[in-house]
Amino acid sequence: MLTRRELLRGLAAGAGHCCLSGALLFGDAPAQTEEKQKGDPDAKYETARFDPTFIEVLVSASKKAQFAAWQTGFTDRLVANAKAQCGITRQDSPQRVSEYLALFSMPYKVGSEYNAFCAAGLAFAAASAYADLLALQSDQYNRKKIYQDLMPDLDHWYYYPSASCLDMYFVAKGKRRWREPTSANKPVPHKGWIVLYDWSKTGRADHCGVILDASQDRIHTVEFNTSGQVNGSQVDGGGVFEKYRPYNGQVKGFIMTDIVPQ
């Protein structure tokens, strides 16, 4: 049986992305991998620095004797919990941003540079949503462990929780959870799906968000590590905000989080 790392490496080669630096693509990764991310198309790139092996082990199903139950209300609760984070910023709530990153053992800063947190923040919202549906009680003291323990379940039922937008994409594609717009087919994403952006149109996912509603022309999201300009895209504000984006070529595609298990 292929390991997750072998699967992702094969997908990368088959998709023509052998040059990508996705965290799990090239066999034995270094202790720290760097991935460029930015929260708006006009922002400067930031770096997400994380240990891909740590995340792979954290999310691995091998440590689970049995998965918790699939929950039909996951997408609604994901949206609600993501919206509940809106207004969080690095400036006003550094402890909460640190909590997002701590799920993946990532520091708030590396030297003088902030760690990018769009994917880590989304994983925090997803884990909190699933914990709520399972009626798991958490507080500031036990929340990290509870959420980390749910990572394999999230991967099994919904999507691969990670600090890496690239790894989210490759796993979703490998598990047939991926929908990508084409000239012949432009799917309207469902509420609770995850959108991945490719701001520079290089084939690399470099930002993510969760869909609130959408049409064939526009998507409405909650995004982490973005600016507070609802319709704007000037600077990376390092916060959690609702955004209205044009549904254009910078939308790489969507992770379907509402597939009913057979």
Task: For residues 66-85, give the mean pLDDT.
Answer: 97
Lowest mean pLDDT across 17-26, 43-52, 181-190: 17-26
Residue with token string 């690239």: 166
pLDDT at 5 over 70: no
Q: How confident is the model at residue 235 (pLDDT cuts 50, 70, 90)?
A: low
For residues 75 and 234, which has the higher predicted lDDT (pLDDT)? Answer: 75
Dist CA 188 CA 215 (whole Å)? 6
Task: Give Rg (Cα) of the chain.
Answer: 17
What is the token pair recorded at 179? 């929908």
Q: How confident is the model at residue 209 (pLDDT cuts 50, 70, 90)?
A: very high
Residue with token string 């997002």: 100
Dist CA 241 CA 95 (whole Å)? 17
Report pLDDT for 82.
98
Lowest mean pLDDT across 79-83, 232-236, 239-243: 232-236
Task: For residues 81-97, give the mean pLDDT.
Answer: 96
Angle between helices 118-133 and 165-174 (to 10 degrees): 60
For residues 228 and 149, which has the higher predicted lDDT (pLDDT)? Answer: 149
Encode pLDDT of 127-154 as tens digits.
Answer: 999 999 999 998 989 999 999 999 999 9
pLDDT at 191 over 90: yes
Q: How far is CA 75 from the centre of its chain?
A: 14
Report pLDDT for 140.
87
8-state DSSP, 106: -
pLDDT at 18 over 50: no
Instruction: Name residue 160's amino acid.
Output: Y
Q: For the chain, where are the E strands, in sequence order?
A: 33-37, 46-50, 109-110, 113-114, 178-179, 194-197, 207-214, 218-226, 239-246, 251-255
Report pLDDT for 231.
54
pTM of the prediction? Answer: 0.87
